[in-house]
Chain A
Amino acid sequence: GAVVSQHPSWVICKSGTSVKIECRSLDFQATTMFWYRQFPKQSLMLMATSNEGSKATYEQGVEKDKFLINHASLTLSTLTVTSAHPEDSSFYICSARDRRVSSNQPQHFGDGTRLSIL
């Protein structure tokens, strides 16, 4: 089945550091990927829709200058948390859909990245 790889799985860093998270579709091409944030015991909150070759579409309330998204190829999207602070600590998870399949196919998720800012 479709596989999405997300890296790194765990990051601990100092406040003020910028952190890059990668999301790769391993066996399919994805013109669109989605980035979510999840707080403990809560649901997934969509942050932005990443579109290959164009600007990402951010959800209301998400700072685009804080969370930089780049989707440079059909298999890779990156999320960079710039100048991270403790309140940015969270579980970040990406998803992608194979652009060739019909709409009844699910989004495939990466395994997520646990970000802890000290």
Chain B
Amino acid sequence: AQKITQTQPGMFVQEKEAVTLDCTYDTSDPSYGLFWYKQPSSGEMIFLIYQGSYDQQNATEGRYSLNFQKARKSANLVISASQLGDSAMYFCAMREGGGNFNKFYFGSGTKLNVKP
């Protein structure tokens, strides 16, 4: 089974509107971490936001927030007030287990296009 599933290969959003990128995960480990990365066309991976499995509140970082629904095993990324520079690939990733050096599992990504 896939550890991380992103069901939206591509998304369009109007500039200044909010958009939600979906991510579901699969693990039986009670300790895990969920991460979102942005990859522009230039290729670098930019860390956006983190949610720990024991965190009680949803993570927020500026215009990024994570809608964490533990029972549903979902960790959707919400981008508010979209900007043209938000156009990129977005990857959801999971670190399974609590170890500092456990490997990450990445989803297939969602390509976001922000329209002016």
Do B44 and A111 have beta carbons less than 8 Å apart?
yes
Q: A31-B101, A32-B101 are in contact. Are A43 and B43 (CB under 8 A)?
A: no
Main SS at interface, chain B:
loop
Do A106 and B47 have beta carbons less than 8 Å apart?
yes
A66 to B99, CA, bound (A): 29
Contact of A95 among B45, B50, B102, B107 (CB under 8 A): B45
- Cβ of A79 < 8 Å from any Cβ of B? no
Do B50 and A43 have beta carbons less than 8 Å apart?
no
Residues from chain B with a CB closer than 8 A to the CB of A104 are 33, 50, 52
Q: Chain B interface residue count: which class?
A: 20 to 34
Residues from chain B with a CB closer than 8 A to the CB of A105 are 50
Q: A103-B95, A103-B98 are in contact. Are A111 and B43 (CB under 8 A)?
A: yes
- Cβ of B103 < 8 Å from any Cβ of A? yes
Q: A97-B101, A103-B100, A104-B33 are in contact. Are A43 and B47 (CB under 8 A)?
A: no
- Cβ of A67 < 8 Å from any Cβ of B? no
Residues from chain B with a CB closer than 8 A to the CB of A109 are 37, 44-45
Q: How many A-B residue pairs have CB under 8 A?
A: 59
- Cβ of A21 < 8 Å from any Cβ of B? no
- Cβ of B25 < 8 Å from any Cβ of A? no
Contact of A44 among B35, B95, B100, B106 (CB under 8 A): B106
Do B33 and A43 have beta carbons less than 8 Å apart?
no
Residue positions of B touching A, CB distance < 8 A: 33, 35, 37, 42-45, 47, 50, 52, 91, 95, 98-104, 106-109, 111
Q: A112-B43, A112-B45 are in contact. List 12 more A-B contacts (CB 8 A).
A: A42-B108, A43-B106, A43-B109, A44-B45, A44-B106, A95-B104, A103-B33, A103-B99, A103-B100, A104-B50, A106-B35, A111-B43
